[in-house]
A and B are shown apart, each in its own frame.
Chain A
Amino acid sequence: MNMRKSVPVAIVLSLAALAGGALLYRHLAANTTSEPVSAAAPAVNFITLDGRTLSLASLHGHWVLINFWASWCAPCIDELPNFVRAQDQYSGLGLKVIGPALDEADAVRPMLARFKINYPVTADFASGDLAMRAFGNDKGALPFTVLIDPDGFIVERNLGGLSSDELDGLLQRHLGKS
């Protein structure tokens, strides 16, 4: 076989091997809870209600749970206490919760006190919506929650409310028991 013929064959064989490996990885990931298939999180910055810039990159090395919400969204308000508890309960395992609100600051501030929110919250519709879509929520609906691993990979995305048990299950699956 001359070189001109062998190069494309080698490329195809390499791609086939890669594809096989990827399929095997996907199969294993789908059948275990340890390391699901993941995608790199987009580089996003949040401006918190107290005016600080919080970049996702600065949280590298932590588990990051981003909960997109709004005061006009009843299912979002339902699950706020679960995120407050998660921040308390899993901070020892390196969890950082962030709560970008697609909302106005005046509507969000009373919620901080009402639910004793213990994690950074932002209130900007446009940037929150943009970030949410960058994380793959093409419906634009809320609530939407993303879990990012310490290496900066998205390991869970959830559109819709998470009960206390569901959130616990999700965090235990990835972080372990608190």
Chain B
Amino acid sequence: MLLIRWLGTAALGIVLSASARPFERLSSTDDLLPAAQAFSLLPVEYHDHHLHLSWNIAPGYYLYRQRIRVEVLAPSRVGLQAIRLPQGIAHVDEHFGSVQIYRELLDADVPTIGPLNAPLRLRVSYQGCADAGVCYPPQTVVQTIRR
């Protein structure tokens, strides 16, 4: 009886697998990482009136400098100065012109304006692509920094 159950399950599995999977072209995009793993934003830190942001960018992926944004959601009395980003890698794109990109590790710094004596809610957005020839939609991450 056990054998019969096993055969039945195996046969059903084969039928479902054969009928449900469409034909797909194999390519180097097969092993793509999800965006959250390709561009991993570490918890934002706050020291001496500065926010410190760090990304781990997986090998074969890159972030666009001009698509990195940091905004304060709350409290409204806290403001941010312009984000300070390191010099990126020059990249000439046929459609976007001369841009800068980042690979591997990216550290950025944002000076804050006003006292920070309550939890700070931040929205960080960024966008990047893979060398395999695909791009990920803009990613938005909300983080709360508690002092």
Q: Could you list which residues of chain A lie within 8 angstroms of chain B, going by C-beta atoms?
A: 8-9, 11-12, 15-16, 18-19, 22-23, 25-26, 29-30, 36-39, 70, 72-78, 102, 125, 129, 136, 139-143, 154-161
Contacts and interface: CB of A to CB of B under 8 A. Distances in A.
B29 A159 contact: yes
A140 B18 contact: no
A11 B8 CA distance: 8
B147 interface: no
A21 B34 CA distance: 36
B123 interface: no
Interface of B: 4, 7-8, 10-12, 14-15, 18-25, 27-29, 32-35, 67, 93-96, 127, 129-130, 132-138
Contacts of A12: 4, 7-8, 11
B21 A39 contact: yes
Main secondary structure of the interface of B (DSSP, over half): mixed
Contact of B18 (A11, A26, A70): A26
A37 B27 contact: no
B96 A74 contact: yes
Contact of B15 (A22, A75, A129): A22
Nearest to A79: B133
B19 A22 contact: yes
18 contacts: A8-B8, A11-B8, A16-B7, A16-B11, A37-B21, A72-B135, A74-B129, A74-B135, A77-B95, A78-B95, A102-B137, A140-B136, A141-B32, A141-B135, A156-B24, A156-B25, A160-B132, A160-B134
B22 A37 contact: yes
Given A12-B4, A16-B11, A73 B22 contact: no
Which 3 pairs of residues, A with B, have the shortest CB-CB distance?
A22-B18, A36-B23, A15-B11
Contacts of A74: 93-96, 129, 135
Contacts of B15: 15, 18-19, 22
A117 to B, nearest CB: 15
A157 B19 CA distance: 16
Given A74-B95, A155-B22, A155-B23, A141 B134 contact: yes
B8 A15 contact: yes
B130 A141 contact: yes
B48 to A, nearest CB: 35
A47 to B, nearest CB: 19
By CB atoms of chain A within 10 A, which of B15, B34, B136 has the most? Answer: B15
